[in-house]
Amino acid sequence: MDILISAERIAQRVSELGRQIRADYQGQPVTILGVLTGSLIFLSDLVRHLDLPLRIALIQASSYRGAVTRPGDLHIQSDLVPDLKGRHVLLLDDILDTGQTLSHLVQHLRAMEPASLRVAVLLRKLGRQQVALEPDYCGFDIPDAFVVGYGLDFNDEYRNLPHIAVLPSNPGAA
């Protein structure tokens, strides 16, 4: 696989994002809400750079259920989400692709009446966005390619790679 973003560059950018987020929240308590499962590595690395009073929670959003290859209706499972009313919330996801999922999540979370809601993504795939949603924090803009590593997967594999790589068109050859 061709490495698109090295582990060193990811670590540097996550540190930069941490400084920016810390400055923006100025010591206020924040609930970081990670979107399962792709954001877990980004989440764990980012919180180490945040000297803020934090709560960490997880939410699952999926339009691929069962043995299907085409997206269906979006299902949001928010069982693990604490009460967000009056809290500052940072929604954290691995990738902004079409924007459909993040847009629905933002709408869902706004109904919970947080004091503020910001969005952070590690990656924004250029040329794919169908919904007008501008993240407050973005690690990297990437080309329209299927990428894996640093939490992103193909068929639940490759999440553990320390870098972001472009999946070849024949993944079995990787």
* The predicted structure's pLDDT at residue 67: 37
161 lies in some domain: no
- The domain total for the chain is 1
What is the percent of the chain where pLDDT is above 90? Answer: 71
Cα distance between residue 47 and residue 130, in whole Å = 30
Q: Is 2 inside a domain boundary?
A: no
Q: Is residue 168 part of a domain?
A: no
Indicate the pLDDT class of residue 5, thresholds 50, 70 and 90.
Answer: very high
| Strongest mean pLDDT among 130-134, 141-145, 167-171 | 141-145
Active-site residue, 97 included: yes
Query: Is 54 part of a structural domain of the chain?
Result: yes
Please give the pLDDT value at position 11: 98
Is 167 contained in some domain? no
> Would residue 147 count as lying in a domain?
no
* Catalytic residue (one of 73, 93, 97, 141): 97
46 is a domain residue: yes
Q: For 87-140, what is each residue's pLDDT tens digit?
A: 999 999 999 998 988 999 999 999 999 999 999 999 999 988 888 899 999 999
Tens-digit pLDDT profile for residues 74-98: 777 777 788 899 999 999 999 999 8
Residue span of the structural domain in which 129 resides? 8-23+30-63+73-142
pLDDT at 34 over 90: yes
Task: Give residue for tokens 């924090």.
Answer: 137
Q: Residue 109's domain is classified under what CATH number?
A: 3.40.50.2020
pTM: 0.89
Assess contact for 163 and 139: CB atoms under 8 A.
Answer: no
Interval 38-82: pLDDT, tens:
999 999 999 999 999 999 999 988 765 443 334 456 777 777 788
Evaluate whether residue 118 is within a structural domain: yes
Residue 129 is predicted with a pLDDT of 83
Looking at residue 69, its pLDDT comes to 33
